[in-house]
Amino acid sequence: MNQKELKELIDLVAEKEFAEFEIERSGFRLKIKRSPDQITHAAPVTQPHVLTPVPPPPIEFPVPARPTAAPAPVEAKKAEPEPDQDLHLIKSPIVGTFYRSPSPTAAPFVNVGDHIKVGQVLCIVEAMKLMNEIESDVSGTIVKIYPQTGQPVEYGQPLFGIKA
């Protein structure tokens, strides 16, 4: 939000005589409050205070305990080759939140050691409340799963290591 937009909002709040006004857009949050004893028609503010963006609170999803999933990381270390250069990496095409399963109670799409085919759904990356299925572009075996469920991922960040 630029200085011109801020000034327009402040002028609008003063003109409509709102007691309180709050807006949040793209991680930027602005709250304007007027005290009850303020003069009704105050002069417009020419130099607004610099506001720092307030990030939204993190959203947490409960992850059910899976007793059979505990040995998987141990197997992953045994099956995993030392250098990651031998692996085909499936990278995140968007910024979002990584999920291994379609819902918190459902089984993961894939696990370490699973054989996959081209076009098979590997995970979901949620971006702006949209669930984007990430599909494999190669056939092979899942050797490594980099992010944890519920973890934010960046564009180009490795999600899976596949031995083709």
Question: From first to last of its 164 residues, what are the pLDDT tens digits of the chain?
Answer: 677 777 787 787 777 777 777 777 777 677 777 766 654 544 555 555 566 666 777 766 666 666 555 555 555 455 544 556 789 999 999 999 999 999 989 999 999 999 999 999 999 999 988 899 999 999 999 999 999 999 999 999 999 999 98
Q: How many CB atoms lie within 10 A of CB 137?
A: 11
**93 belongs to a structural domain:** yes
**152 belongs to a structural domain:** yes
* 90 contacts 122 by C-beta, under 8 angstroms: yes
Look up the domain containing 128 and give its range: 75-163
Same domain, 133 and 104: yes
| Residues in Cβ contact with 106 at an 8 Å cutoff, skipping those fewer than 6 apart | none
Same domain, 49 and 93: no
**2 belongs to a structural domain:** yes
* 128 contacts 119 by C-beta, under 8 angstroms: no
What single-letter amino acid sits at 90?
I
**37 belongs to a structural domain:** yes
CA dist 122 and 138 (Å) reads 11
